[in-house]
Copies of this chain bind each other. A is one copy, B any other.
Amino acid sequence: MISKKTKYAINALVHLAKRKDEGPIIIAEIAKAENIPQKFLEAILLDLKKAGILASKKGKAGGYYLLKAPEDVNMADVMRLFDGPIALLPCVTYMYYERCEECKDEETCGIRDVFLEVRNKTVSMLKKSTLLEIIRREGKQKRPENED
């Protein structure tokens, strides 16, 4: 599961993407419209700004706005920013590699090999999941392809 922080970030980003031509939008509006505790949202938006995804304007007529195009903001980046690596094992992360403490031989580890493949395919899916894609799908859901 992703954290609430990440989910709130996605909600806020979708909100901003849908109004990207309306100039800066204040935190209070996003918080109210998306049902997010305002103080919590403040910290989240600040992080998104530091990451170069959003920009802000202070004072009167201020607020936050998208810096990147909606097709250039993907779920992999947002999830990494708040929840850390997408990989399921520390030994298959891209940026935060760490050996599994109990591991005997990483080079021949079959578990690692299987989870490396899972990571690669997951990252690839999440990179295709952009704000644009999310907005395009709103209200016109596809039928699920796999069921289990």
Inside 8 A of A120's CB, which chain B residues have their CB?
144-148
Cβ contact within 8 Å between B123 and A144: no
* Min distance, Cβ A136 to any Cβ of chain B, angstroms: 7
* A10 proximal to B (CB < 8 A): yes
Q: Contact mask A59-101 → B, CB, 8 Å, 1/0?
A: 0000000000000000100010000110111100010000011
Interface string of A118-129 (1 = CB under 8 A from B): 101111111101
Cβ-closest chain B residue relative to A88: B2
Of A20-28, A50-58, A103-111, which stretch is located at the interface? A103-111
Query: Is A36 part of the binding interface, using a Cβ–Cβ cutoff of 8 Å?
Result: yes
Bound CA–CA A120/B145 (angstroms) = 8
5 pairs of A and B residues whose beta carbons are closest in the complex: A35-B102, A110-B138, A110-B134, A110-B137, A120-B146
**Could you list 15 examples of A-B contacts with CB < 8 Å?**
A7-B89, A10-B111, A34-B102, A35-B104, A75-B118, A94-B148, A108-B138, A109-B138, A110-B135, A113-B137, A115-B129, A117-B142, A120-B146, A120-B148, A123-B148
